[in-house]
Chain A
Amino acid sequence: MARIEDRAPATATGDAPLNDDIGEELRLRMYRMQVEIREAEQRAYDLFLQNLVKGTSHLSLGQEAVATGFAAAMQPGDLSFCTYRGHAHTLARGVPIERVLGELMGRDIGLMRGKGGSMHLTSAEHGVMGSYAIIGAHLPIACGAAWRAQYKGARDVSVCFFGDGTTNIGAFHEALNFAAVWKLPVVFVCENNLYMEYTPIGDVIPVEHPAASRALAYGLEPILIDGQDADAVYRAASAAYDKARAGGGPSLIECLTYRYSGHSRADPAKYRPEGELDRWKERDPIKLYRKRLQQFGIAEAAITAIEADVKARVDDATETCKASPPPPLDIITTDVYADGGWAWRN
């Protein structure tokens, strides 16, 4: 099984040079993004406890490096297709925090003014082409966006994120086969956080790795990476995007990661074996990356300044959302059809 990080230049080994393939500026950007996702997701949870976030929410606490690495390697114009666990991927494309939290809170400032909710975050101007809450639905849709790029000779890549549980639904297999046969510039990213909702993924697959073990069935290279290491994610993403842009077709990348919270807000995650969460927290992506920054000689003051700035921004965004009114009722009937309205009869 290919592990792209094994082929990458040596990093974080004590005296590795600052000008490695990733570089200081990008590394600081990726650290900031991971902290932003962590703080925003934690805030979403707190706001839920205060009954200010209604409905459901699916957090990416613990999975920040995956969203960060894939987004950081994208170019403007690349397209993200996310799942209901999509806050992180939306933030990672540069969507303002208050537009995300505002949508979760059902406020007018929300990305979709409250018409979509937590599971459907969309920001077309940032390349976030929707978050899809029907498992597997967006894999074929990402194929279609990639088909358009191929047809038009455009160089953008469509990147499709999903969980380990998605690998058992029909649309996953249809999309993988379709993308491989048509050689589409699409990158499928499986975030294997070990649980299909409440069930360990190992209980419901006959192979070791939900995505990587199935890649060969579609003529694709099995790729399994450390999803807790943003650098490893970034390198795997860059390689897959380069391949897609060069006409080399799709990639399927499985990222080993872990979610700290339950499947959704309703799930206390009591099914996890004792000690599992603590073991994963030892490889917390932010802790790990913070250490790497230090190894590369970044000053502690620079790191804490990023952390303080992100916290302040999340606080500001929270206040902005609380001050934002609920959406006006007249938007209930807008944008059903392209004429802006909802008329079904003449």
Chain B
Amino acid sequence: MAELTYRDAVARGIAQEMARDPDVVFLGEDVAKAGGVFKTTVGLLDQFGPVRVRDTPISEQAILGAAMGAAMTGLKPIAEIMFSDFLAVCFDYIANEFPKSRYMSNGQLKCPLVVRTGNGAGSRFGAQHSQSVENWAMMIPGLKVVAPSTPRDVIGLMAAAVRDPDPVIFFEHKSLYAVKGEVPDGEIVDALGTARIVRPGRDATIVALALMVPRAVEAAERLQAEHGIDCEVIDVRSLVPLDTRTILGSVGRTHRLFTVEENPRLCGWGAEIVSIVADEAFYDLDGPPVRITTPHLPLPAADTLEDAVLPSAERIVDRVKRAM
């Protein structure tokens, strides 16, 4: 067991898979010599060499297209898109190419690749470098979508994503890169489609993702200490496949549902979870489900403004307390 930052876990996760499988290759802008603009891939070039770890031009379509062509023909590429906001300039691959080639070809073509990308707010970068866009990927049939919240999950879910035979969009949260966590020694391999109950509780279920997980846990501790409300916190981890069993099971015990989403409100993943619970567990509920989200706004840059729009532990405490 060692303590590792989420940032260092990215490099360890990639290294674990590259060491295991010579068909795993890694490409992106400034990922090799520079070790990544967020220093998430430091050491990979030295360890695996310039044939397997490759710097690219600023050409997001070429990066994702090349990853797809390599994946179709036998490699297992990991491609980095520096900021998830930039998925918009190569969205054809995310929306039209990766997820549809297998279906349109009636199973003749395959697309086993991982796109990892820096997602989320907290760095005061403004509206085009701070978004949480996991719902952009979630809405497309044929993709798998994961977003780890801990260093351990970065490694385990990275392994699961690389070993998965389908295209996986892997959202790393930029504001978690400096966070440390305990990571077991040796190989770590997780399963996609598994949520985790990070704090058991009896009174309410709070479902969160990525940076919102530690905030939900902090809120749950305060709700317990200050208001005697015992919340269960679920880290969704994987939006597709979605572990609805864990969520429905929790709501069946607590009878209350809250979602905490960093994405802007409309069509956020929490809406899908609320819809599933309303369809399938309506009579388990003792009150209306509550979505706690970033308002439907572009993100402002200034620290005070950005802090005011993201769901905070305070806001979670307040919304849960008022609803209960």
Residues of A within 8 A of B (CB): 79, 111-113, 115-117, 120, 122-125, 129-130, 132, 134, 136-149, 151-152, 158, 170-171, 174-175, 177-178, 181-182, 331, 334-340, 342-346
Interface residues on B, range: 35 or more
Within the complex, what minimum Cβ distance (angstroms) separates B296 from chain A?
25
Pairwise interchain contact A178-B66, C-beta atoms closer than 8 A? yes
Closest Cβ neighbor of A79 among chain B residues: B73
Closest Cβ neighbor of A143 among chain B residues: B66
Of the candidates B62, B71, B73, the one whose C-beta lies within 8 Å of that of A178 is: B62
Binds A, one of B200-208, B240-248, B262-270: B240-248
Pairwise interchain contact B109-A130, C-beta atoms closer than 8 A? yes
Pairwise interchain contact A137-B105, C-beta atoms closer than 8 A? no
Residues in A neighbouring B109, C-beta threshold 8 A: 122, 124, 129-130
Of the candidates B59, B64, B243, B244, the one whose C-beta lies within 8 Å of that of A177 is: B59
Pairwise interchain contact B65-A130, C-beta atoms closer than 8 A? no
Pairwise interchain contact B241-A334, C-beta atoms closer than 8 A? no
Known: A115-B106, A116-B106, A334-B107. A175 touches B62 (CB 8 A): yes
Closest Cβ neighbor of B165 among chain A residues: A338
Pairwise interchain contact B59-A178, C-beta atoms closer than 8 A? yes
Within the complex, what minimum Cβ distance (angstroms) separates B71 from chain A?
7
Residues in A neighbouring B245, C-beta threshold 8 A: 346
Proximity bits, B176-195, A CB within 8 Å = 1, else 0: 00000000000000000110
Pairwise interchain contact A141-B72, C-beta atoms closer than 8 A? yes
Within the complex, what minimum Cβ distance (angstroms) separates A219 from chain B?
13
Residues in A neighbouring B62, C-beta threshold 8 A: 140, 143, 171, 174-175, 177-178
Closest Cβ neighbor of B241 among chain A residues: A346
Within the complex, what minimum Cβ distance (angstroms) separates B18 from chain A?
13
Pairwise interchain contact A122-B105, C-beta atoms closer than 8 A? yes
Within the complex, what minimum Cβ distance (angstroms) separates B215 from chain A?
25
Pairwise interchain contact A346-B193, C-beta atoms closer than 8 A? yes
Within the complex, what minimum Cβ distance (angstroms) separates A296 from chain B?
38
Pairwise interchain contact A116-B104, C-beta atoms closer than 8 A? yes
B56 within 8 Å of A (CB atoms): yes
B74 within 8 Å of A (CB atoms): yes
Pairwise interchain contact B73-A145, C-beta atoms closer than 8 A? yes
Return the 8 tightest CB-CB contacts between A and B, nearest first: A140-B65, A144-B69, A338-B165, A144-B66, A335-B107, A174-B59, A116-B104, A178-B62
Give B63-116 interface residues, CB cut-off 8 Å to A. Answer: 63-75, 77, 92-93, 96-97, 101-110, 112
Measured in the bound complex, the distance between the Cα atoms of B107 and A116 in whole Å is: 11
Residues in B neighbouring A151, C-beta threshold 8 A: 25, 51, 70, 75
Known: A79-B73, A124-B109, A338-B166. A139 touches B241 (CB 8 A): no
Closest Cβ neighbor of A346 among chain B residues: B193
Of the candidates A122, A182, A338, A342, the one whose C-beta lies within 8 Å of that of B104 is: A122
- 25 interchain pairs, CB-CB under 8 A: A130-B104, A130-B109, A132-B97, A140-B59, A140-B69, A141-B97, A148-B73, A151-B51, A171-B92, A174-B65, A177-B57, A178-B57, A181-B57, A331-B106, A335-B102, A335-B105, A337-B165, A338-B164, A338-B165, A339-B165, A343-B241, A345-B243, A346-B241, A346-B243, A346-B244
Pairwise interchain contact A124-B105, C-beta atoms closer than 8 A? yes
Pairwise interchain contact B105-A340, C-beta atoms closer than 8 A? no
Pairwise interchain contact B59-A144, C-beta atoms closer than 8 A? no
Within the complex, what minimum Cβ distance (angstroms) separates A126 from chain B?
10
B298 within 8 Å of A (CB atoms): no
Known: A115-B103, A148-B75, A335-B102. A171 touches B65 (CB 8 A): yes
Residues in B neighbouring A146, C-beta threshold 8 A: 69
B120 within 8 Å of A (CB atoms): no
Known: A122-B104, A345-B242. A147 touches B66 (CB 8 A): yes
Closest Cβ neighbor of A113 among chain B residues: B106
**9 extra A-B contacts, CB within 8 A, seeds A335-B105, A345-B242:** A112-B105, A124-B108, A134-B92, A137-B92, A140-B93, A145-B73, A174-B59, A177-B62, A178-B59
Closest Cβ neighbor of A125 among chain B residues: B108
Residues in B neighbouring A170, C-beta threshold 8 A: 61
Pairwise interchain contact A335-B59, C-beta atoms closer than 8 A? no
Residues in B neighbouring A122, C-beta threshold 8 A: 104-105, 108-109
Residues in A neighbouring B74, C-beta threshold 8 A: 148, 152
Measured in the bound complex, the distance between the Cα atoms of B245 and A212 in whole Å is: 58
Measured in the bound complex, the distance between the Cα atoms of B105 and A344 in whole Å is: 20
Measured in the bound complex, the distance between the Cα atoms of B7 and A207 in whole Å is: 47
B142 within 8 Å of A (CB atoms): yes
Pairwise interchain contact B57-A129, C-beta atoms closer than 8 A? no
Residues in A neighbouring B97, C-beta threshold 8 A: 132, 134, 137, 141
Residues in B neighbouring A125, C-beta threshold 8 A: 108
Closest Cβ neighbor of B70 among chain A residues: A144
Pairwise interchain contact A145-B72, C-beta atoms closer than 8 A? yes
Within the complex, what minimum Cβ distance (angstroms) separates A142 from chain B?
6
Of the candidates B65, B67, B102, B107, the one whose C-beta lies within 8 Å of that of A139 is: B65
Of the candidates A123, A148, A171, the one whose C-beta lies within 8 Å of that of B70 is: A148
Of the candidates B57, B108, B141, B165, the one whose C-beta lies within 8 Å of that of A336 is: B141
Pairwise interchain contact B69-A143, C-beta atoms closer than 8 A? yes
Measured in the bound complex, the distance between the Cα atoms of B39 and A135 in whole Å is: 35
Measured in the bound complex, the distance between the Cα atoms of B241 and A337 in whole Å is: 11
Within the complex, what minimum Cβ distance (angstroms) separates B87 from chain A?
15
Task: Specify which of B107, B112, B165, B243 lies most central, judged by the most chain A CB atoms within 10 Å of its CB.
Answer: B107
